[in-house]
Structure 1
Amino acid sequence: MIDDNSQEVSSTEWEFITMTGQEEDLIYRMHRLVGDRWDLIAGRIPGRKADEIERFWIMQHSRVFAEKRNQSKIS
């Protein structure tokens, strides 16, 4: 059952998620091995949740977020 009071948040409204270099490296290596199995990837990174890893991945690979990253670097 869908809760009528819940609001879906557009992915363009997400706050940027920052990862350490080690976390990013592990995410990329694990993604090559297991694909979009965010729960498995998050299990290898202490303190990170599957939805957080997935949002990070989407933000890194989305054209919309790439444009936002570029604009923030220019400012």
Structure 2
Amino acid sequence: MKNRSPKNHNNEFEEVSSRKWEVVNLSEQEEDLVYRMHKLIGNRWDLIAGRIPGRKPEEIERFWLMRHSEVFSDLRTQTKS
């Protein structure tokens, strides 16, 4: 990162961050499993994702944060309408 200008670094971060927070759609069964597993083991996303084929720990954590964070409350209300 020595050879990069700060401007390039900021653009890279914005690209990653915009992809990072895309909405994660889970089926009703997957959501139910995430809620039950979270109640049992907490924020151990790698263990929860291991029980849902094809899901990564990052996806499960992003789903949880988007559902339960105040930061995303506006996005949730827009999605519901």
Q: How far apart, CA to CA, are the structure 1 residues paired with 2:58 and 2:39?
A: 18
Segments of 5+ residues of structure 1 without an aligned counterpart are none
User: 2:69 pairs with 53, 56, 62, which one?
Assistant: 62
Q: TM-score, normalised by structure 2?
A: 0.73
Runs of 4+ in 1 over 4 A off after TM superposition: none
The structure whose residues are more often helix, as a share, is 2
Spell out the pairing of 1:1-75 with structure 2 (5 A cutoff): 5=9, 7=13, 9=17, 14-74=21-81
Higher normalized contact order (CA 8 Å, seq sep 6+, divided by chain length): 1
Q: Which has the larger radius of gyration?
A: 2
- Percent identity over the alignment is 59
User: Can you list the C-alpha shifts for 1:14-59, whole angstroms capped at 9, x where unaligned?
Assistant: 1111000000000000001110000000000000000110000000
Segments of 5+ residues of structure 2 without an aligned counterpart are none
Give the length in aligned residue pairs.
Answer: 70
Deviation, structure 1 residue 63: 1.3
Q: TM-score, normalised by structure 1?
A: 0.79
